[in-house]
């Protein structure tokens, strides 16, 4: 794999180290496309979600190589690669797909073409087999970066693990990969750095109103986050939104608790879906459900209607929406 050699001035490294010291215990202010040093050898790039649909990326320096968290869309992968070259000379050896959605995995061919090994929990490949090639082909009609790869379906991760935990430790740094259960998808993966107390969450935990629930299990989602809280991480690097403290875990968890409580109460009182959600065609556009201000960071009026519809179906059909949508 060929990388441009970029030597960073000592003054810049000192400045970046100062950024880490200042931000390590506070929410890190970032803007899409910018790269932030989270800890020595750990970099965060906020994805251009609004304009390009990109997820966030993290890259972790080991002794002789890099681990990248999430493959992104193809254009996001290229943008991430360009910024990686500005921060380190080391090659990318592993790219971890936190889950199967296109903004986290459709860039797989970009990375493997350069010699990297894409890695994921086996649940990710199972989800891909469940939903592909349909979603890939739909994305190719809308996204030039997907279409330009000239592939008929998504590329599966090259390496998977079945256990709930996998570890990479080269003596310079220990990186743990965890599967904690079905939340956002049936293959959600977390990356934990125990020494640095940094947790990368994919979309199982986001920092803002970015929760897509179509493949999810909202009843079990808070349980997964409860397990994630046991890492006692100081810094949370979400799949979307800016980095934050452990409060991001609690807030995301409480959002689902409040959402299910509100919808459950409406169902118990005899409300029908049409009483709760306004739709234009198949799209939910508004809802009568109100959530408390304590979770407003995760609430967007445009998406709340769809989230209410998902939970209503889960409660009335007594199964996760991912199972309703994709089968067992």
- pLDDT attached to residue 246: 97
pLDDT of residue 29: 55
- pLDDT of 52 above 70: yes
Q: Can you give the C-alpha Rg of the chain in angstroms?
A: 20
pLDDT digits (tens, 9 = 90+) for 155-168: 999 999 999 999 99
> What mean pLDDT do residues 5-9 have?
33
Q: What is the pTM of this model?
A: 0.90
92, β-bridge pairs: 66
Q: How far apart are the first and last CA of the chain?
A: 40
Left (φ > 0), alpha (ψ -120 to 50) or beta: where does 271 sit?
A: beta
């Amino acid at each position: 794999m060929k990388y441009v050699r970029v030597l960073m001035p000592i003054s810049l490294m000192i400045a970046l180290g100062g950024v880490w010291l200042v931000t390590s215990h506070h929410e890190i202010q970032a803007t899409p496309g910018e790269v932030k040093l989270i800890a020595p050898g750990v970099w965060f790039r906020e994805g251009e979600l609004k304009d390009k649909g990109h997820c966030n990326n993290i890259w972790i320096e080991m002794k002789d190589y890099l681990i990248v968290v999430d493959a992104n869309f193809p254009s996001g992968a290229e943008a991430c690669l360009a910024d990686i070259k500005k921060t380190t000379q080391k090659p990318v050896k592993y790219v971890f797909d936190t889950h199967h959605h296109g903004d986290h995995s459709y860039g797989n061919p970009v990375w493997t073409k350069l010699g990297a090994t894409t890695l994921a929990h086996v649940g990710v490949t199972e989800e891909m087999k469940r939903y592909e090639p349909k979603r890939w082909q739909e994305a190719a009609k809308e996204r030039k970066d997907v279409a330009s790869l000239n592939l008929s379906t998504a590329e599966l991760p090259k390496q998977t693990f079945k256990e709930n935990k996998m570890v990479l430790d080269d003596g310079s740094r220990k990186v743990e990969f965890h599967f904690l259960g079905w939340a956002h998808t049936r293959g959600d993966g977390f990356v934990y750095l125990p020494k640095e107390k940094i947790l990368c969450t994919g979309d199982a935990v986001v920092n803002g109103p970015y929760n897509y629930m179509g493949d999810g299990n909202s009843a079990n989602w808070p349980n997964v986050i409860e397990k994630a809280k046991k890492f006692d991480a100081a810094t949370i690097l979400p799949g979307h939104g800016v980095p934050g403290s452990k409060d991001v875990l609690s807030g995301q968890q409480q959002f689902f608790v409040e959402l299910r409580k509100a919808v459950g109460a409406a169902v118990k009182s005899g409300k029908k879906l049409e009483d709760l959600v306004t739709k234009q065609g198949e799209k939910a556009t508004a809802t009568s459900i109100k959530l408390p201000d304590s979770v407003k960071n995760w609430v967007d009026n445009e998406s709340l209607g769809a989230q209410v519809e998902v939970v209503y179906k889960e409660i009335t059909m007594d199964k996760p929406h991912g199972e309703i949508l994709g089968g067992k």
